[in-house]
Amino acid sequence: MEIEDLDDVVSIENASFSKPWSRNMFLQELELKMSRNLVAKITEKSNTHIAGYITYWIVADEIHLQKIATGHDYRRSGISSRLMKEMIGKSVDNGCNRCTLEVGALNKNAIKLYKKFGFTVQGVRPLYYAERDEDALIMGADLKKCMKLIRHEP
Question: Active-site residues: which are they?
Answer: 102, 114
Distances in Å between the alpha carbon of 131 and those of 31, 67, 77, 127, 128?
28, 18, 29, 8, 9
Sign of the alpha-carbon torsion through 102, 67, 83, 106:
positive
- Kindly report the three-state secondary structure assignment for every residue of 102-150: EEECCCHHHHHHHHHCCCEEEEEEEEEEHHHCEEEEEEEEEHHHHHHHH
